[in-house]
Amino acid sequence: MINRLNIRQMTEEREKGLSPHAVKSRLSRGRLRPEEPCPVRTTFQRDRDRIIHSKAFRRLKHKTQVFIAPQGDHYVTRLTHTLEVSQIARTISRALNLNEDLTEAIALGHDLGHTPFGHVGEDVLNEVYHQGFRHNEQSLRVVDLLENDGKGLNLTWEVRDGIVNHAKTRIEVLGRDWGEVNTVEGEVCKLSDIVAYINHDTDDAIRAGIITEDDLPLSAIAVLGRSRSQRINTMVCDIIECSWAVRGDAVMASPAIAMSPEIVEATNALREFLFDRVYNLRATVKEAERARTVIRLLYKYFNEHKDGLPPEYHFYSNGIEQRVVDYIAGMTDQYAIRTAEKLPDKVKVA
């Protein structure tokens, strides 16, 4: 019955009404290994579902965003961050008549390669591993190779591109440095990631007592709003308005996802404030030091004791260091701490 109706083809037909700048699932550049299409879901919907059912996605629940293994129930984790990015990106995508399914798949997959202990974990792995470590590249490794017992999720080119090119350094919100994303949907996710973390990290920093609402830069708050929901709303509406040409109602060669100069300035000010007052503080707090020690210890130990690695990690790479990085990057905060505690005493002292 399902085959006769072919629901997927009906959805693909509907996608013809999307913006001329949207990616149509039928025109995807395809998967690393070709597969029979699903009778019900488009290729991007299928990618989204594969990500949701992956083990790496479940582990996001126990990975730190900024505050390491916090006691409170209301702190953001990698999982809730991911869901917030997805919500914001889908809202923008739908408003701009883009492919919401592609947007959702990229957003849900973007942080799958994140280490335990947030950016502290990422920084340490980057220091110790001679080839360097970036969470966005690891996210691609997860979906291409590590998930599904070493077979990977075999996602489409567009979702993989959005995942590997989502990240950037401390440069301004519209700046580019860690790779260009090649779809408008990917652009939406890249900006939505920033909108999400600026706002929930501000909230969490206040919750943790690191800053108070009165510390927030007045110039930014005056433009963006006093509450978290006001600020998200201001940013999202501004992005939609400034990116309206992406809908394709008027002819324009390659319109971009954009923000107005006023909102960009206020957003940059708030982000810089977070870097100075919240993110860089991580290096000094006790939990961050403990997290650094745990990662360094695990890295050293497993490089010297490769038989201690779970057997499946031996298939993923020929290099022992890469195997150790794959293993550690996949750990949740608590798993990393438990594993380090179980190491022989003489290793821990050293």
Stretch that binds Mg ion, among 2-10, 105-113, 176-184, 213-221 (CB under 5 A): 105-113
Nearest to 201 by CA among 214, 210, 191: 210
Nearest to 158 by CA among 264, 30, 64: 30
Is residue 100 involved in binding Mg ion (CB under 5 A)?
Answer: no
How many residues at the interface with Mg ion, by CB under 5 A? 2
Stretch that binds Mg ion, among 171-179, 192-200, 283-291, 321-329 (CB under 5 A): 192-200
CB of residue 197 to Mg ion, shortest distance in Å: 6
| C-alpha distances in Å from residue 269, one per residue of 64, 170, 221, 224 | 24, 12, 10, 11
> At residue 344, what are phi and psi to the nearest 5 degrees?
-55, 145
The answer to whether residues 198 and 271 touch, using CB atoms and an 8 Å cutoff, is yes
CB of residue 160 to Mg ion, shortest distance in Å: 16
Per-position x/- string for 230-269, each x denoting binding to Mg ion as judged by CB under 5 A, each - no binding: ----------------------------------------
Binding residue (CB under 5 A) for Mg ion from 15, 193, 201, 238: 193
Residues whose CB falls within 8 Å of the CB of residue 108, separated by 6 or more in sequence, listed in order = 48, 51, 52, 57, 82, 86
Q: State which residue, 147 or 193, has the beta carbon closest to Mg ion.
A: 193
Token pair of 275 as six digits: 């870097």
Is residue 111 involved in binding Mg ion (CB under 5 A)?
Answer: yes
CB of residue 297 to Mg ion, shortest distance in Å: 27
Is residue 104 involved in binding Mg ion (CB under 5 A)?
Answer: no
Q: State which residue, 111 or 238, has the beta carbon closest to Mg ion.
A: 111
Q: Binding to Mg ion (CB under 5 A): which residues in 291-350?
A: none
The amino acid sitting at 154 is N
Token pair of 151 as six digits: 């077979």
The answer to whether residues 55 and 147 touch, using CB atoms and an 8 Å cutoff, is yes
Q: Binding to Mg ion (CB under 5 A): which residues in 266-285?
A: none
Alpha-carbon distance of 202 to 200, in angstroms, equals 5
Alpha-carbon distance of 319 to 125, in angstroms, equals 16
The answer to whether residues 67 and 75 touch, using CB atoms and an 8 Å cutoff, is yes
Q: State which residue, 101 or 193, has the beta carbon closest to Mg ion.
A: 193
CB of residue 279 to Mg ion, shortest distance in Å: 14
CB of residue 168 to Mg ion, shortest distance in Å: 11
Instruction: Tell me which residues touch Mg ion (CB under 5 A).
Output: 111, 193
